[in-house]
Amino acid sequence: MKKTIAFTIIGLVVGIGLGIIFSAAYFGPPLAGSMFLYQEAELVRNEDAAIQAYLNESPEVGIWALESYIKAMNRVIKEREVEHRKHFFVMIKPEPTLTYAHVRLALLYERIGNDLKRKENLEKAFEYSSSMKIERELLEERLIRIVTKLDSHFKPLDNN
């Protein structure tokens, strides 16, 4: 009788353990993807708030918002590094997003007259840009034109 109860308890414990392992293996990847998606949605909201501050607030507030967004984005990129310079993102592409954020930051620094920070942020934007074969002056001109056009069509997420 004692052996039957002992084998039943052992079988129950092993069955529960195997069930937990197989459930984690089955539900783990979709759950991780949805968690990444949730984090990316938060980054999109942060970007939206930073762009709104850039467009509607004083340059100092816009600078603070864009720098906070860039720091958050760089932290997430560092966390999600899979291999050398490869990252796992579900919904967003960090390179163009960071390029445009640095160009916006450079434009704000230009507004307040800090040419050193303007150049520094344009250099960072060039690092993220994939068209490095173009001369720097042309690339700077194109990036500023692209950001200006994007900003003219910007609609906050709150107004949808």
Mean pLDDT by 10 residues, the chain (160 residues): 86 88 81 76 90 90 94 87 68 84 92 90 82 67 85 76
The answer to whether 139 and 147 are in contact (CB under 8 A) is no
pLDDT score for 78: 85
Q: Is the pTM of this model over 0.85?
A: no
pLDDT score for 125: 86
Per-residue tokens: 23 = 């459930």
Where are the domains positioned within the chain? Answer: 33-159
Kindly report the length of the chain. 160
Question: Can you tell me whether residue 131 is helix, strand or coil?
Answer: coil
